[in-house]
Structure 1
Amino acid sequence: MTSTRTCADEGEDGVLHRIMPLLGRRGPVVIGPGDDAAVLDVAGKLVVTTDMLVEDEDFRTDWSTARDVGVKAAAQNLADVAAMGAEPIGLVVALGAPGDTPADWPEGLAEGLDAECARAGVSVVGGDLSAAPRLTVSVTAFGQFAGGRPVLRSGAGPGEVVALAGTLGRAAAGLDLLAAGFGDRAGTHGPVAELIGVQRRPTPCYEAGRAAARAGATAMLDVSDGLVRDAGRIAQASGVRIDLDGPFESDLDAVRPAAEALDASGPAAGADGDRSFDTCVRWVLTGGEDHGLLAVFPDEKSVPEQFRVIGSVVAGDPGVTTGGLQLPVGTASGWDHFGGRFRGGDGA
């Protein structure tokens, strides 16, 4: 049940008093939340990344609980650390909230943050709290290299293979289901509910990043903005062409229930199967937020077990082709914070 008290009622100290007991202590933390700054016992190179979620831009409170937002905020930052081939070691979190925010919303956020941190073996080590016009969650994640090296986007070369750890299209399908109102329907269950769950609470495989680095990955990133768009970033940074030829059958099969549900419930009811297939392909190739890891390896023998080969690196003008599906998908397809949900590509 939503609290009748608000953040303004509780005041800053009251909200912090609610949050602090919910944050576990894991990883190389010497001094955690409660002092002016945290202290971590870190050896080697430090990795730092930051990201934020803004209400009605990156999440909606009628679609996601505060716990959902906490899980997602932690996951998208920890995935960026993993994409460098590093081991996560902690997060700091800043929350901006209107005064009329229910006082238990920050509690739910803290529970979600801590739950996802527990999956990665780290903790929230500090942060900040402030009044703001709308809910804003800003996370900074830290990581370290255990004797390894950073894996950049710029090291891919012709003749190498492209592989993915994780899934594709699920979060994008879940987003369209939420937009169509399926999140509020009592009868939403099974595969459709599972796809909505991926959008609300992604589960990146953090260990895959370290495994890729150990295996000699030459380039890697977190697929947050869509496979084609993010593969294009590796292609541009490395000065190569990437051909994505799959297999994508498992991803297409996973999102097909969403396409069928949307066709059956909307004005497109009765549309032919080709339209549903095109929708599935769009989700798989251009949908983001599953937070899988896309990496390039010298050859198939070096690909770790967490990854599956889905393409190759070839010489040519930087860009992306999708040879396996014979689709002219441009590298601009995918999520853009200032360009809307899915930008149409101009061909690869």
Structure 2
Amino acid sequence: MEDALSAATSIGRLGEDAVLARVLPRLAPGESALLGAGDDAAVVAAADGRFVVTTDLMVHGPDFRLAWSTPYELGWKAAATNLTDVAAMGARPTALTVAIAAPPELDVAVLEGIADGLREALACLAPGAGVVGGDLSVSTVLTLAVTAFGDLEGRTPVLRSGARVGDVLAHAGTRGDAARGLALLFGEARDGSGEPDASLAAELRRREPELLAAQLAPRPPVFAGVAAAAAGATAMLDVSDGLARDARRVAVASGVGLDFDAAALGADPRLALAGAEDHGLLATFPPGTALPAPFERIGRVVDGHGRLTLDGEPVAALGWDPYSGWDGRAG
């Protein structure tokens, strides 16, 4: 973390008002903001009369390492992980609030980079959405907390509990790339003592840019959530903890089983099922539905409360658990 520190421009030396004066101009409130940051609260339009809301936490250590991620990538990923949760409800993302707790010696350039990443991720993944407020605080560990809001635009929210036997199981996004990227970082971007090494990560970034980007700055198909809802998706969720682990949540909530097609999962079905943090969308659709792009059929809904199978054979719900780690690491 030392590379990110500078006494001359540390946030502790600058103070909150000066930090905000440098960070807020890098953000945009978005089209749905009637009143953005600056008052005690923002005002965001909800023409539908309802809105969806979700929140996610990123903590230095278990969720990211400054030696591996640039501040820009942190901001990008913080936006992406929340936008897909909104999309999984069939809603259009409209606004984010961002709270950051950071060590006082952290260079303000880190927060500026995070703001740039947030802004650019929103422009790319959810055009029209913006950051409308948040909070700054002090902590010994850099922590980001993002809350995202979305507009259902008159649609019924797509829940995890709507899958029915006979439905098509489909997925949009990459499968296993983020896991491959993380395995590379753990395998090749640590020093002799096992600590994350920025120079080794930089070399890895040059050699495997796509896999590193899949882990550090994912580009999930946020737009596909609305398309899935419009096509009649019966259930949907964001795949953040692993395809199998998240699929089981749909199976349990819906009281059904899910049978994956190994051939549809690619050359390494186990990694596709266990790899986490791709942030794709898993959905079920009625039989005969024309799947909206980029959804691909990867299986079917069958009998069996909470049961997962791969070509009919039982498969474990491997993936990421914040309290026990990842039980499906590549390599």
1:216–1:302 contact (8 Å) kept in structure 2:
no
2:236–2:283 contact (8 Å) kept in structure 1:
yes
Equivalent pairs, count: 313
Which of 251, 255, 259 lines up with 1:239 in the alignment? 255
2:274–2:328 contact (8 Å) kept in structure 1:
no
Confirm or deny that 1:335 pairs with 2:320. Answer: yes
User: Which residue pairs with 1:257 in the alignment?
Assistant: none
Which of 115, 120, 126 lines up with 2:120 in the alignment? 115
Deviations 1:294-319 (A, max 9, x none): 00000243321221000000112322
Q: Residue 312 of structure 1: SS of its match in structure 2?
A: strand
Equivalent residue runs for 1:1-348 within 5 Å: 3=6, 4-44=8-48, 45-119=50-124, 120-121=126-127, 122-182=129-189, 184-185=199-200, 188=204, 192-248=208-264, 250=266, 252=267, 280-323=268-311, 328-331=314-317, 333-342=318-327
Cα shift at 1:14: 1.3
2:29–2:37 contact (8 Å) kept in structure 1:
no
**Equivalent-residue separation in structure 1 for 2:208 and 2:265 (angstroms):** 18
Deviations 1:222-256 (A, max 9, x none): 00000100110000000000001144465x4xxxx
Deviations 1:138-182 (A, max 9, x none): 000000111211000000010111000111000011011111234
Cα shift at 1:189: 6.2
**Equivalent-residue separation in structure 2 for 1:56 and 1:98 (angstroms):** 14
**Equivalent-residue separation in structure 1 for 2:238 and 2:185 (angstroms):** 24
2:265–2:272 contact (8 Å) kept in structure 1:
no
1:162–1:309 contact (8 Å) kept in structure 2:
yes
Regions of 4+ moved over 6 Å: none
Q: Which amino acid aligns with 2:327?
A: F
Indicate how the Cα distance of structure 1 residues 288 and 113 shifts in structure 2: closer, same or farther if over 3 A, else same.
same
Structure 1 portions without partners, runs of 5+: 253-279
Cα shift at 1:191: 7.2
**Equivalent-residue separation in structure 2 for 1:33 and 1:142 (angstroms):** 15
**Equivalent-residue separation in structure 2 for 1:17 and 1:157 (angstroms):** 52
Q: Which amino acid aligns with 2:114?
A: L
Q: Which amino acid aligns with 1:82?
A: A
2:220–2:278 contact (8 Å) kept in structure 1:
yes
Cα shift at 1:66: 1.0
Which TM-score applies when normalising by structure 1?
A: 0.85
1:85–1:213 contact (8 Å) kept in structure 2:
yes
Q: Which amino acid aligns with 2:162?
A: G
Which TM-score applies when normalising by structure 2?
A: 0.90
Indicate how the Cα distance of structure 1 residues 340 and 187 shifts in structure 2: closer, same or farther if over 3 A, else same.
closer
Structure 2 portions without partners, runs of 5+: 190-197
**Equivalent-residue separation in structure 2 for 1:92 and 1:153 (angstroms):** 25
Give the RMSD, CA atoms, in angstroms: 1.9
Cα shift at 1:281: 4.0
1:300–1:309 contact (8 Å) kept in structure 2:
no
